[in-house]
Every structure is written in C-alpha cells, then in structure tokens.
Homo-oligomer: A and B are copies of this chain.
Amino acid sequence: MASVTARLAETDTGSLIAELTEAFGDQVSTSAAVLERHGNDESYHKGEPPDAVVFARSTDDVSKAVKICAKFNAPIIAFGTGTALEGHITAPFGGVCIDVSEMNEIIKVNAEDLDVTVQAGVTRKQLNEYLRDTGLFFPIDPGADASLGGMAATRASGTNAVRYGTMRENVLNLTAVLADGRVIKTARRAKKSSAGYDLTRLFVGSEGTLGIITELTVKVYGVPEATSAAVCAFPSLEDAVNTTILTIQSGVPVARVELVSKEMMGACINYSKLEGFDVSDHLFFEFHGSEAGVKEQAETVQAIAADFGGENFKFATKQEDRNALWTARHNCHYATKSLRPGCEVWSTDVCVPISHLAEIIADAKTTMDEQGIVGTIVGHVGDGNFHIGYVVDPNNPEELAKAEEHNKQLVYKALAVDGTCTGEHGIGSGKRKFLEAEHGEAVSVMRMIKNALDPEGIMNPGKVLPA
C-alpha cells in the first residue's frame, strides 16, 4: 500500500506552510502551544504534534486545505475537540491538522422530520442546548463533549446507545472532503434508502482515513414525556451484570443501564462528592417514555434486580438529582485518574455478545486483582460494552507493560466469544495491532478501499489499518 511513512523534508514543510498561510492567513497556526494541543488526545498515548494547524470555517476551506496538502503529499489529520482515546489525532509523520471546531453552525433543524443538519464542529452539548426549547434532543452521549464530526468519525456511542443506537444508526447523511479535495454528500434526508452503496456508513467509523467529515445530518428525538433515573447497589459485579442481561433479554426499552464497579463507585463518591451511596457494585438506570410506561419499565427492572440481590432501588426523578447522577457517571474518567495523582487512565473498550458479559467481566476483575493492577470498571452493559480504566504511571514501563498485556489478553478473550476489541473508542493508533485478529481477510478489503480513496495514504496515516 502506498502510504506516508516519513515526515516531509524541512524545505517542503516550509513551502507547504507558506502556501497554506497565503491561502488562509491567520487561520493557520504553527505556534508550539497550538501544535502541542493538536497532537494530543485524552489518552495515555504519546502524542506527536503536526507541522501546522488550519482552522477551517467551511467545507470549502477544508477542500482548499486538502488540495494544498495533496500537492505536497503531506499527511492530513482532522481534529474536532481532541477528546479521542486511541491516539486518533496524533501526527506521527507530521503534516497538517485541519481543526473544524470553528465550523460550529447548526445549519437546519427539521423538527417535523426529527433531524438536524450541522457543521462537523458542533458539539453534542451545543446541539442539545440549541434544541432545548424545541422539545427535541440528540441522545448520543459518549461522556466527553465531543464534536459530532468526531463522534461520527469514530462511530461513537455511550450511555444512551442501548436504546437510541450509536452514530452508525443516527447519521442520515454526511458531507466529506476526499483526499484529492473533492466534496461528496453521501445521502439525503429520507429515513431509509436503497439507492446505491452506503457511503454514509463507510465514512462513519473511518476515523479521518478516507476523508474529512465537514457536515452531517443526524436524527433527533422528542424529549420523552417522562424520564426517571434510578440507582441500585448489588452484592457483586456478577449480580449487577446478570440483572442487565435479563433486562435486555426481557425487551425492556431501558434508555441507559450503566455498570459502576465498587472501586469506581468509591472514586466517584470522593471525586463527585456523591452523598448517600455505598461503596459497592452499582447499576445506574434511566427510563424514557410515557408516565405509565416509565413506571412499568422501572417496576419490571426492580423485580429483576431483586432476584439478584439488588434491593435498595433509589429513584432520582427531579432533573437536578438526575443531572448529579449522570455527571458523576460522566466524570468516571477523571475520578479514576484522581485515584493516583500524576497517573494516566488507559481505557479498554471490548464489547461482547451479552451472554458472555458476566464471565468476561468477572475474569477481568480476577486477573487484575491477581496481577496487582489498579483500575476501575464501568460499562454500557446493555450493549455488552465495558471499560476498565487502568490507572498507570506513564513513566513506569513495567506498569505500562502490565496494563498492555492485560488489555491484550482481554481483547483475545473478547474475540474468542465473537466480540470486538473496540465497542466505541475506535482503532486509532492504539488498536491497529488487533484489527487482523478481529477481521482476518476482511482487512484486505478495507485496504483496497483505503487505496482506492486515498492512493497516496495522506489521510490520517498510521491509524486504523495495520502497517
């Protein structure tokens, strides 16, 4: 495969930056602080800065910048909010970061059709803030206030996916700039279509390696008539997981069901000053529906939980109580980090068929204890997806190696039960080594597509496809 494998020569970099500056003026930055920020995501991965950052304001800007980069065969890395977790935005071969965060216009709310068209830099919180008075909301919630373009690029999901699906199900169409600067729109706003190849889904999850997403139309939903949240403590992790499995199998349309391990709960109580909670394994629930429907769902789940020793079901019906709860859940990453000041969180992301969830979580916990690995467990367990947050000292190679080996074993265990190495964080640079184990010969087809769309390998080199 043709692929960028080295940084540009210094003179070429100079010419490239000169040309970009001529085209974009002060939308181009080469300041060390800006480069540094754009080469690093929120993960333990060692970042590498790009040579320049272009702050794009339109699809045309992106196209123009890509065309200039293509002339120099320079790597191009798309950047939304920098909240990725697998080194997606690092620039191992230098090149140009195209930052779309200023492309934050909400282009059109089609309330009657339950869809919204936005520029790629719009974040999920910004969108929901904007929708507040319309009775609509955008449900996909990966925790971080990520950009919708970035969320589409990594096929993100999060706490609400068990009911509303992931970005895969919620992007109706997108506009993308290809490696030669060409602009395509992948589909229209019809709820379904059988017209040709599903380019929307091809770009969702392609992590900037096939093109840069500049606009997208996403589904939105009516704010449910009633919402209630509940928290329940369990005697063990396994009981909590089994409650989830039975809830899903019973067809309860639960909006959120989140596992928070004992260790995680302890960290949350400290970090988020949660009051009135025990340090034990918990499930956090949210129910959406009519008043009667929400009540019925909660009663069904309470009955299931009771069978697994989950007795003290605490409801949070007031908006502010629910917010406190979900803020605590969203802060798990930072709460985990606070367990060992100065350390980084390395988050795993396997996702398995739900029938294998209890066994794989139990095994992970046992082996972590055996190996003296500090970490927490949280999970979007309704989808079979969970995260171990290893708390590692980035300067301690032995600790890093131990975490790496534990994650590797976890991935192979997930693959052995027909699961995936990543439920929602993406491959980035961190999981390329698992792609062939997961997909086998299908990786060769991914490569054929990559080569067809980006023959010089300039779109986010070093990501997704193994070297």
Contacts and interface: CB of A to CB of B under 8 A. Distances in A.
Contact of A202 (B193, B201, B292, B419): B201
A409 interface: no
A190 B420 contact: yes
A155 B194 CA distance: 6
Given A169-B169, A191-B354, A201-B168, A245 B296 contact: no
A354 to B, nearest CB: 6
27 contacts: A114-B249, A182-B444, A183-B441, A184-B442, A185-B439, A188-B415, A188-B418, A190-B414, A192-B385, A192-B423, A193-B420, A194-B205, A194-B424, A194-B426, A195-B422, A195-B427, A195-B435, A196-B443, A197-B206, A197-B449, A197-B464, A198-B205, A199-B445, A202-B202, A222-B251, A292-B296, A451-B452
Given A110-B355, A222-B249, A418 B194 contact: no
A224 interface: yes
Interface in A37-66: none
Contacts of A112: 245, 249, 353-355
A157 B192 contact: yes
A221 B224 CA distance: 23
A296 B226 CA distance: 14
A237 to B, nearest CB: 19
Interface in A339-374: 349, 351-355
A420 B249 contact: no
Contacts of A465: 196
Interface of A: 110, 112-115, 154-157, 161, 165-166, 168-169, 178, 182-199, 201-202, 204-206, 210, 221-222, 224, 245, 248-251, 253, 290, 292-293, 296, 349, 351-355, 383-385, 414-415, 418-427, 431, 434-435, 438-446, 448-453, 464-465
A351 B192 CA distance: 7
Contacts of A110: 353, 355
A75 B425 CA distance: 41
A299 to B, nearest CB: 10
B442 A168 contact: no
